[in-house]
Chains A and B, each alone.
Chain A
Amino acid sequence: MKLNKDTENVFKKRKITYTIVFVGVLIVYFIASTVTKFHLWDGLVSIPKAIVWMGEKLVPDAAAMAKLPKILKKLFETALLSVAVTVIAAIIAFFFSLLGSKTTKVNGIVNRLVRIVAAFFRNVPDVVWAMLLMFSFGQNILTGFFALFFTTFGLLTRAFIETIDEVSSSCVEALDATGATFIQTVFQGIIPASITEIITWVLYMIETNIRSSTLIGMLTATGIGYLFDLYYKRLDFASAGLIVISMVVLVITIEGVSNRIRKVIQ
């Protein structure tokens, strides 16, 4: 009997929690939609409209197909940019994260400083970097490069610090005990112990950066983002659609390859 009562209480408590969450979300929804002047009905209506529009207009025609080489070239450039940004940021972030990790016990003050710097770079939006760099670098691929670089660097530094502290603290202790130097410990202990995690993060950031570089491209008039913006504003939706399709193919391919790699390197 007591057991039944206990279970009943659990169910009752659960019911109350669900109700509170539901009502809470509802209130937040009403406030947020009033402030942003968002109308659910308009939103719902726009979805089928947009889908029909996509089906009609975003379909590449012969004229768009003629632009395919140009689109692919820009897309390739964007993909290369993402890889280069991520690789360079990862290398610098790795050495930086050694200074920020508790495992390596470099120095308490340096430790905190590194974490603050990483948080700063992580949280300044990439659009700010993009606009800021536009003044000095202009419509240049380097604008996009540095804009993506700063955020990627901040993100990876935090990720690597967590990885190093989680994965390698035990082998760092063992290598310290053998009398190994700091650099030897890094290359013989920390890197082999955390390499799979590091690669997982790098692959994830490459994927993310391809998407982000579209947006950065629009702001800095470079790469695939600029091309999309150009076609979109010219109302050449067939070509814009071709960009969307090529991008989908690229991102899904990269995701598939990353998944395969992740499985092999475990």
Chain B
Amino acid sequence: MISQYEANIATTLGSLKDVINLSDSMSKGRDGKIRIKAKSKSNTAIYVLVMVLLGLTVLAFLTFDYKDIDFGKAIADTLHNIKTVFLQPKLTRDTTVGVLYQLFVTFCLGTLSTIFGAILAFFCSLLCAKNIANQTVANIFKSFVALIRAIPTVLWVLIFAVSAGLGSVAAVIGLTFHSFAYLTKVYAEAIEEVDEGTIEALRASGANFWQIVFQAVVPASRSYLVAWTFMRFEINFTNAVAMGAAAGAGGIGFNLFMAGSFYFDLNEMGLLTYVVVIAVVVLEFVSTKIKAKAK
């Protein structure tokens, strides 16, 4: 009991003493209360950004043109359709072999555009990476690539469809453009991570540009390059499905489009969706394995 009492006195005395020194380290806000937040630009920036985003969201919902939609009915219908699509999938028009073949076509579209995109992006990223390329050249190429990336894939496909006709050529070239621009950016970032010392050592030993690239840069950033390429392959596969649906590029996406927007066959649409989902999950699984192996 006594020791507790003593301790209390000690703390009280201690805090009394502290109050005297404290006044200069404590600062008070406009409301007269003690401030506790850190004085930092980044906290303010986050606060402003969150407020702006929420404000824009509210503005969006206020300005949307809802066209007097019957919300209750629309939701009920949606739920009913979701039930048909996901719980009653059935193949009515296509054959199993046909569906699998079209899935393979989509897979091949994704593969081709990834191969082309990766090869082009590899060389272009060498010109964009600040640690091995000329600064001016790097900046010019980076802006050029940003320009290509800003245009959605579907617009690229439609643009090429004019000169090459709707079909696999337009689809592959269109898909390639966006993957090329995306991969250039991420490859260049991966290359910029390579240790400056490694490059310098080779340069000092009299190695030329390509020797530096293949003996230092590629081995050092290999795992990143492989990881990004397969990540892009997954995106390209999904994009190839979308291009089949929206730009007549063939593959399982086109079957989906026909089932959904032409025959209004929800059951078949469900089955095709499951095929795509399973394919994506398998791709994700395989690419995770390959990425782990490349480390």
A and B are interacting partners: yes
Chain A residues contacting B281 (CB-CB under 8 Å) are 119, 123
Known: A28-B111, A83-B60, A136-B78. A244 touches B163 (CB 8 A): no
**Which of the candidate stretches B10-18, B131-139, B145-153 sits at the interface with the other chain?**
B145-153
Report the nearest B residue to A42, measured CB to CB: B169
B173 touching A46, Cβ below 8 Å: yes
- Cross-chain pairs A/B with CB under 8 angstroms, 7 sampled: A33-B112, A36-B105, A50-B163, A127-B253, A138-B67, A251-B150, A264-B41
B155 touching A80, Cβ below 8 Å: no
Report the nearest B residue to A237, measured CB to CB: B162
Q: B77 touches which one: A18, A135, A199, A218 (CB < 8 A)?
A: A135
Known: A137-B69, A264-B42. A215 touches B173 (CB 8 A): no
Q: How far is the CB of B71 from chain A (nearest CB, A)?
A: 8
Asked if A261 is at the interface (CB within 8 A of a chain B CB), the reply is yes
Q: B108 touches which one: A11, A35, A132, A141 (CB < 8 A)?
A: A35
B273 touching A125, Cβ below 8 Å: yes
Chain A residues contacting B85 (CB-CB under 8 Å) are 128, 132
Q: How far is the CB of A132 from chain B (nearest CB, A)?
A: 6
Chain A residues contacting B9 (CB-CB under 8 Å) are none
Chain A residues contacting B245 (CB-CB under 8 Å) are 125, 127, 131, 219
How many residues on chain B are close to A (CB under 8 Å)?
Answer: 79
Asked if B109 is at the interface (CB within 8 A of a chain A CB), the reply is yes
A37-67 interface bits toward B, Cβ cutoff 8 Å, 1 = contact, 0 = none: 1110011001101100110011000000000
User: Which of chain B's residues 227-263 have a Cβ closer than 8 Å to chain A?
Assistant: 238, 241-242, 245-246, 250-251, 253, 256-257, 260-261
Asked if B81 is at the interface (CB within 8 A of a chain A CB), the reply is yes
Kindly state the separation between the CA atoms of A137 and B246 in the bound complex, as whole angstroms. Answer: 19
B153 touching A211, Cβ below 8 Å: yes
A265 touching B269, Cβ below 8 Å: no
Asked if B179 is at the interface (CB within 8 A of a chain A CB), the reply is no
Report the nearest A residue to B143, measured CB to CB: A252
Known: A127-B241, A133-B78. A49 touches B163 (CB 8 A): yes
Q: How far is the CB of A7 from chain B (nearest CB, A)?
A: 10
Q: How far is the CB of A164 from chain B (nearest CB, A)?
A: 17
Kindly state the separation between the CA atoms of A145 and B49 in the bound complex, as whole angstroms. Answer: 22
Asked if B121 is at the interface (CB within 8 A of a chain A CB), the reply is no
Kindly state the separation between the CA atoms of A35 and B160 in the bound complex, as whole angstroms. Answer: 20
Chain B residues contacting A195 (CB-CB under 8 Å) are 46
Q: A248 touches which one: B150, B159, B173 (CB < 8 A)?
A: B150
A35-B104, A43-B172, A128-B273 given; name 9 further pairs at CB < 8 Å: A38-B168, A47-B160, A125-B256, A132-B78, A137-B78, A139-B67, A214-B152, A214-B155, A215-B153
B147 touching A248, Cβ below 8 Å: yes
B41-57 interface bits toward A, Cβ cutoff 8 Å, 1 = contact, 0 = none: 11001100110011011
Q: Which among A14, A49, A87 has the highest number of chain B CB atoms within 10 Å?
A: A87
Asked if B292 is at the interface (CB within 8 A of a chain A CB), the reply is no
Q: B interface vs A, CB < 8 Å?
A: 41-42, 45-46, 49-50, 53-54, 56-57, 59-61, 63-67, 69, 73-75, 77-78, 80-82, 85, 104-105, 108-109, 111-112, 115, 146-147, 149-155, 158-160, 162-164, 167-170, 172-173, 214-215, 219, 238, 241-242, 245-246, 250-251, 253, 256-257, 260-261, 264, 266, 269, 273, 276-277, 280-281
Kindly state the separation between the CA atoms of A87 and B50 in the bound complex, as whole angstroms. Answer: 9
Asked if A111 is at the interface (CB within 8 A of a chain B CB), the reply is no
Q: How far is the CB of A168 from chain B (nearest CB, A)?
A: 16
Chain A residues contacting B61 (CB-CB under 8 Å) are 84
Asked if A230 is at the interface (CB within 8 A of a chain B CB), the reply is no
Chain A residues contacting B269 (CB-CB under 8 Å) are 128, 131-132
Q: How far is the CB of A47 from chain B (nearest CB, A)?
A: 7
Q: How far is the CB of B29 from chain A (nearest CB, A)?
A: 19
Report the nearest B residue to A57, measured CB to CB: B162
B57 touching A142, Cβ below 8 Å: no
User: Which of chain A's residues 114-128 have a Cβ closer than 8 Å to chain B?
Assistant: 119-120, 123-128
Chain A residues contacting B170 (CB-CB under 8 Å) are 46
Kindly state the separation between the CA atoms of A142 and B105 in the bound complex, as whole angstroms. Answer: 32
Known: A80-B63, A248-B147, A264-B41. A127 touches B160 (CB 8 A): no
Known: A80-B60, A135-B264. A252 touches B246 (CB 8 A): no
Chain B residues contacting A58 (CB-CB under 8 Å) are 159
Chain A residues contacting B261 (CB-CB under 8 Å) are 131, 134, 219
Kindly state the separation between the CA atoms of A246 and B231 in the bound complex, as whole angstroms. Answer: 29
Report the nearest A residue to B41, measured CB to CB: A264
Q: How far is the CB of B216 from chain A (nearest CB, A)?
A: 11
Chain B residues contacting A133 (CB-CB under 8 Å) are 78
B172 touching A83, Cβ below 8 Å: no
Chain B residues contacting A33 (CB-CB under 8 Å) are 108, 112
A50 touching B155, Cβ below 8 Å: no
